[in-house]
Amino acid sequence: MPKINKETIFSLNKFPTLKIFKYGNSKNYYCVFYVGTNIKKSGNIEKSLKTENIKEAEKKAKDFYKTFWKNINERPLEKDVSFDKSIAKPFFELRKKKYSRKGKDEYYLKEFNRYHNYIKPFLEPVNYNETDFLTSAIEDLVVDLKKRKVNNEHIKDTTISKYTNLISLMCKFGQRKGLVKALPDIPTFSRINEERPPYFPAELRKISCKIIEEYKKTEDNFWYDLNDYVNFLRSFGTGRTGLNNVNIKISQCKVINDLDNPEQPILKITLFNTKNKPKVIGTVHNYWTNNHYFQRLNKYNLKYDDYLFFPKTTDRKSLYEKIRKSFVRISSELGLYVFNGHTRPLYSIRHSVADKRYKETGNIHLVAEHLNTSMPIAKSNYLGDNDSLTIQKHKQMFPELYSNKSKVENYKKTNFQRNFNEEF
C-alpha cells in the first residue's frame, strides 16, 4: 500500500476527524474520516477526490462528509438504537436545567459543544448495547484527540480527561435509564495541570502602569476598570479569574471594622456558586480597599445592586472575553506574557497570590483556604515551584543541619564534604 505524504495532511475545521491528504505516488487528493467499526471494519472511510487543487479538494471532502452523515442519519438504526437520540439528548436536557438553576449556562454550553463537535461523530453510529463497539469508538476518539494534541490543535491532557469524563457521565446516565447494559471501558487520565508561572510584583506593576497609560490616552473607562480589576485579583485570590469575580456586586461587599486596628477597615466579599462551594467568604488586601474600593464607589456612585467592576456593561460574557484578551495584549506588548516557555494569562495572577501569601505566612493550609481550594492542589498547582516551600521541605528532610546555629557552622566548615562523600 502506498505511503501517505505527511506534508499534505490537512484537518478541516468544524468537520471532526475529516482530513484531506495525498499519497506519495498520487497527484490527486484523498479524504478520510471516522465512521465507526460497525460501518467499516477499519473504522474509517476513504475516498479519492480526483483533483489536484486543494481548494476544490476541500469543498469535495466537505460535501462527501455531509452527504455520508445525512444518509446515515436518515437510515433507521436497529430498534431505533441511537446514542444521540436516546442518551445524549435527554442527558443534556437535564444538564441544561441543572446549570441554569446555578446560573452557570456557560458550563452547559462548554459540555454540549464538546459532545457535538467531537464526541458525537464517534458515538452516533454505534449501537450502545454493543459494549465492545462502544469501547472501541471511545478509544478511537481518544486516539484522535491525542493526534490533535501532537498537532498543536489546542488539545491538552486536561482537555482529553474532560471528554472522557463527559462520556462516562453519559454512559452512566444511559445505564440508569436501562439503555446501556454494560458500561464501556473508558480510558482514565490523571489530571496533568499545565504549568502557570506567577507574575512577579514588579511585572504586575508594569502591567498596571501600561493599562493606566491606555486609560489616559483613550479616556475610556474600560481601562480604568481593568486596572482596578487586575489589582483586585492581586489583592483577593479567593475566586478564580472568571465571571464570578467580574460579576461581584456591591451587595456582596461589606466593610467591617477591626477594633485593634480601627484605621484599617477590612473589605469582606461573599462569592456564591463557586467551583468548590456554594458560598465562600474572602477578604481583600487593605491597600486595594483604601486605594481602589472607596474611589470606585464615589466615581460611579455605586448602589446595592450594581456591579463592582464595569458597572455600565450589561453583556458580561463578552466583557470577560474583552478583559482576558486586553490583558494578554498588554502583557505581550511588555514582553511578559511568556516566561520560561510557558504563557501567563490573567489566571496566572492567582498563582502570584498563592506565591506571595505563602512567603508572608508560611502556612499552606491558610493559603489553600484563602484560595478556596484544597491543600494538595495548592501545593501541587500553585506552589510547586515556590522557593519558600522548597526551603521548608529541605529543612524537614535534613533537620540535623538546622538543630542549632553553631552546629550548622561547624558542619559547613569541617564535616560537609566528608559526610557528603560517605553518604553518596
Per-residue b/e over 272-306, b at no fewer than 16 CB within 10 Å? Answer: eebeeeeebebbbbbebbeebbeebbeebebeeee
- For the ranges 110-114, 179-183, 248-252, 366-370, the lowest mean pLDDT is seen at 179-183
Average pLDDT, stretch 274-287?
A: 84
What pLDDT is recorded for position 120?
87
- pLDDT, residue 208, reads 96
User: Is it the case that residue 422 has pLDDT exceeding 50?
Assistant: no
pLDDT at 298: 94
Q: Are 32 and 44 within 8 A, CB to CB?
A: yes
The three three-digit cell numbers of residue 162, written as one number: 474532560
Looking at 277-347, list the stretches that DSSP marks H as alpha helix, in order from N- to C-terminal side: 286-288, 294-300, 316-333
Per the prediction, the chain carries an average pLDDT of: 82
CA 116 to chain centroid, in Å, comes to 19
> What cell numbers appear for 76 in the block?
433507521
Residue 38 has what pLDDT? 56
Helices (H), 130-220: 131-150, 157-176, 201-218
Quote the CA–CA distance of 353 and 313 in Å, as a whole number: 27
Radius of gyration of the chain (CA): 28
Predicted pLDDT of residue 423: 42
- Give the pairing of strands 253-256 and 44-48: unpaired
Q: Over pLDDT 90: what percentage of the chain?
A: 33
Say if residues 31 and 18 touch (Cβ distance below 8 Å): yes
Instruction: In whole angstroms, give the CA distance from residue 169 to residue 165.
Output: 6
In angstroms, the Cα distances linking 57 to 33, 214, 378 are: 14, 46, 50
* φ/ψ of residue 179, rounded to 5: -95, -45
Pick from 30-39, 195-204, 299-308: least confident: 30-39
Question: What pLDDT sits at residue 190?
Answer: 45
Express each pLDDT in 378-410 by its tens digit: 776 677 666 777 787 777 777 877 766 545 455
3-state helix, strand and coil shares in percent for the chain, rounded to the nearest 5 = 55, 10, 35
Cell 484522535 belongs to residue: 144
Whether 126 and 133 have beta carbons less than 8 Å apart is answered as yes
CATH class held by domain 201-379: mainly alpha
* Mean pLDDT across 256-261: 90
The DSSP element (H or E) to which 272 belongs, if any, is: strand 266-272
pLDDT, residue 77, reads: 43
* Digit-coded pLDDT (tens) for 151-208: 555 566 667 888 889 999 999 998 888 788 778 877 765 433 456 788 999 999 999 9
- Residue among 153, 320, 313 at smallest CA distance from 245: 320
Three-class SS state of 244: helix
Report d(CA 99, CA 235) in Å as an integer: 29
- 80 dihedral zone (left: phi>0; alpha: psi -120 to 50; beta): left
CB 148, CB 155: distance < 8 Å: yes
Structure-block grid coordinates of residue 174: 444511559
In the prediction, which pLDDT does 294 show?
95
In the 8-state DSSP scheme, what is residue 373? S
Q: Note the pLDDT tens digit of each residue in 207-243.
A: 999 999 999 999 999 999 999 999 999 999 877 666 6
Residue 189 pLDDT = 53
Give residue-wise pLDDT tens across range 361-374.
Answer: 888 888 888 887 77
- How far is 323 from 223, CA to CA, in rounded Å? 9
- Residue 191, pLDDT score: 37
The predicted pLDDT at position 147 comes to 65
Q: pLDDT of 44-99, one tens digit each? A: 888 889 899 999 999 999 999 888 877 765 554 444 567 888 899 999 999 999 99
Measured CA to CA, the distance from residue 145 to residue 96 in angstroms comes to 25
Q: Which helix (H) or strand (E) holds 223?
A: helix 221-235
pTM above 0.85, yes or no: no
End-to-end CA distance of the chain: 56
Cβ(253)–Cβ(268) under 8 Å?
yes
**Taking the domains of the chain in order of start, what are their residue ranges?**
4-34+43-70, 78-176, 201-379, 389-423
Q: Residues 321, 323, 327, CA angle at the centre, nearest 5°?
A: 120
